[in-house]
A and B are shown apart, each in its own frame.
Chain A
């Protein structure tokens, strides 16, 4: 669905004063995948989306979107993808249905009324279809913008900050709708600052700041950055257990936190039974055992720090 190779965008401001927005982005996104593109403000996420939707050209590198070459088959790309831009950009004085009608015509939708009606109903805006968009709440505008991006039934959808500035209820509604789109098998490229949202919705995540820092599934990212850790909740801890567990093969680190033993392991599936057996034999009251799950926020911040350290060391 999306293939980029060394995609680079440099904005020329003045002579000798260029801004590197995107550098050497190489990425592959398959059909039906929900891809989260995470990065701080100004990281180049929107520039990437603009390049991939043929709104702006790349300085170097190449990209294929839906099988079309960016920079050569731009009309075909625009026709085949849907985009939710960072700002809704609706016509405030026009009604919700008129806003959608305009875009349905521009996307050459065959049955305009049917498609407009379908998405107004799907997103719960049917009863407000004749009201000017200027009277809509932020959540309603965002839903209308999502409807606009779907009118021509694109299989690939770019969502730039879909829940930014929305109240929790509206954000939840938008997330549910994105989940629904995922269940329809659509490919979604989503830029977001909301890490929980990315964790919940995305199959893979790319952490990006001008260049791609890392990309993988949320689970693999956790493992890559923090390794795998198992937490053993005990009624009481014998201080001697820490060193004895450390000596087991495959155990990387043992930490004692409150009434818990946090054990970093290479292969928990293989070593956990040995640790449990050891603890039971030692008479420990084992209450719970579970894998420590770092939040995506931890992973993101760690990846960013690692990236900055790397840049400094260069």
Chain B
């Protein structure tokens, strides 16, 4: 455990001096938090009296999510805000990519990997340290962003019914479990790539592909193909658990000290 903590300490000491990492860790989550709040503010103003708004503009597939006790305006707000839920799932994907992508290939380019691998550190300790160093900030930032978002809801005058929906099982599962699972997937994918390529930028760019399935989910919901409800969220979490297990297995089996030290092209 001491070795893992040392690696985490080393990664954080080094990586948070990098302005680019600070930008992706603070600025992007902040935008993703403010954006849904702004959308809520706009919809509040646009709809005027929220209780008298009709549900006619809400896709039929979505009405089941709202339930019978909500007004049309509230249902519309939930429909809009549900698109932004996926932004909170993107935070744990985007934030750790820079850290994780740099973690192996960055050390390779600065030649600091060889002395590190020459220590009694085991491969599992190294990978666990690097994964946690990248995943922990992402998970914390994701949760903090959601916390800030929740704090902003009453200030904007969002109704109790909408708030209840947001702190309901679908969103909480997404934020508390889906987010960390996305972070683990992102980090392990980036570390896997990072040990296969020789340029941190390449690892970073390819890792960003993980956003694509989330965007797909977002567009599918906007198009009315699917509605993100508890069933969809549980399926998503189940799929992510399998994906994470696969990525961790792949990362640990593919990480060969020898090939990383000797294969440069």
B2 touches A108 (CB 8 A): yes
Residues from chain A with Cβ under 8 Å of B110 in the complex: 89, 91-92
Q: Please list the 3 inter-chain residue pairs (A to B) with the smallest Cβ-Cβ separation, ordered nearest first.
A: A87-B111, A89-B111, A89-B112
Expressed in whole angstroms, the minimum distance between the Cβ of A106 and any Cβ of chain B is 4
Closest Cβ neighbor of A158 among chain B residues: B118
- A56, B262: Cβ atoms closer than 8 Å: yes
Let me know if A85 is at the binding interface, CB within 8 A: yes
Q: How far apart sit A91 and B116, CA to CA, in the bound complex (Å)?
A: 11
Stretch at the interface among B8-16, B47-55, B138-146, B157-165: B8-16
Known: A57-B258, A93-B17, A98-B13. A106 touches B112 (CB 8 A): no
Question: Could you write out 7 A-B pairs with CB less than 8 Å apart?
Answer: A55-B114, A55-B257, A78-B120, A91-B112, A98-B13, A102-B6, A105-B6
* Known A55-B114, A93-B17; contact A102-B261, beta-carbon cutoff 8 A: no
Contact of B3 among A56, A89, A90, A105 (CB under 8 A): A105
Please, how many angstroms separate the alpha-carbon atoms of A102 and B17 in the complex?
17
- A55 CA to B118 CA in the complex, in Å? 6
Which among A11, A53, A91, A93 is the interface contact of B118 at CB below 8 angstroms? A53
Docked CA distance A106–B10 (Å):
11
Indicate the size class of the contact surface on chain B.
Answer: 20 to 34
Contact of B119 among A50, A86, A106, A145 (CB under 8 A): A106
- A83 to B261, Cβ gap below 8 A? no
Asked if B3 contacts A106 (CB within 8 A), the reply is: yes
Residue in A11, A75, A90 whose CB lies within 8 Å of B122: A75
Asked if A78 and B14 make an inter-chain contact with CB atoms under 8 angstroms apart, the answer reads no
Is A103 within 8 A of B115, CB to CB? yes
CB of A89 within 8 A of CB of B14, answer: no
* B10 smallest CB distance to A (angstroms): 5
Q: Which residues of B contact A11 (CB under 8 A)?
A: 262
- In this assembly, does A107 line the interface, its C-beta being within 8 Å of a C-beta of chain B? yes
Residues from chain B with a CB closer than 8 A to the CB of A92 are 110
A61 close to chain B: CB less than 8 A = no
Interface of A with B (CB < 8 Å)?
11, 50, 53, 55-57, 75, 78-79, 83, 85-94, 98, 102-103, 105-108, 145, 148-149
Contact call A93/B120, Cβ cutoff below 8 A: no
Contact A108 B120 (CB under 8 A): yes
Question: Which residues of B have CB within 8 Å of A149?
Answer: 115
Whole-angstrom CA separation of A50 from B260 in the bound complex: 13
- Report which residue of B113, B117, B119, B258 has the largest number of chain A beta carbons within 10 angstroms of its beta carbon: B119
Known: A50-B261, A75-B120. 13 other contacts (CB 8 A): A11-B262, A56-B261, A78-B118, A78-B120, A87-B114, A89-B107, A89-B111, A89-B116, A90-B112, A91-B112, A106-B3, A106-B119, A107-B120
Nearest Cβ distance between residue B98 and chain A, in whole angstroms?
Answer: 15
**A92 smallest CB distance to B (angstroms):** 7
Cβ of B121 within 8 Å of any chain A Cβ, yes or no, is yes
Q: Is the CB of B111 within 8 A of A85?
A: yes
Q: How far is the CA of A148 from the CA of B112 in the complex (A)?
A: 12
The interface centre, meaning the residue of A86, A87, A106, A149 with most chain B CB atoms within 10 A of its CB, is A106
- Please determine whether A148 and B14 come into contact, CB atoms closer than 8 angstroms: no
Contact B258 A106 (CB under 8 A): no
State the Cβ distance, A260 to closest chain B Cβ, in Å. Answer: 50
Contacts of B111 in A (CB 8 A): 85-89
Query: Judging by beta carbons under 8 Å apart, are A94 and B120 in contact?
Result: no
Q: Is the CB of B262 within 8 A of A106?
A: no
Contact B261 A106 (CB under 8 A): no
- The reply to whether A83 and B120 form a contact with Cβ atoms under 8 Å apart is no
CB-defined interface of B64-107 with A at 8 Å, one 1/0 digit per residue?
A: 00000000000000000000000000000000000000000001
Which residue of the partner chain A has the closest CB to B119?
A106
CB contact list, B114-132 vs A, under 8 A? 114-122
Tell me the bound Cα distance from A282 to B17 in angstroms.
Answer: 81
A92 to B10, CA, bound (A): 12
Q: Nearest chain A CB to B265's CB is how many angstroms away?
A: 10
Q: How far is the CA of A55 from the CA of B262 in the complex (A)?
A: 10
Residue of B nearest to A57 (CB): B258
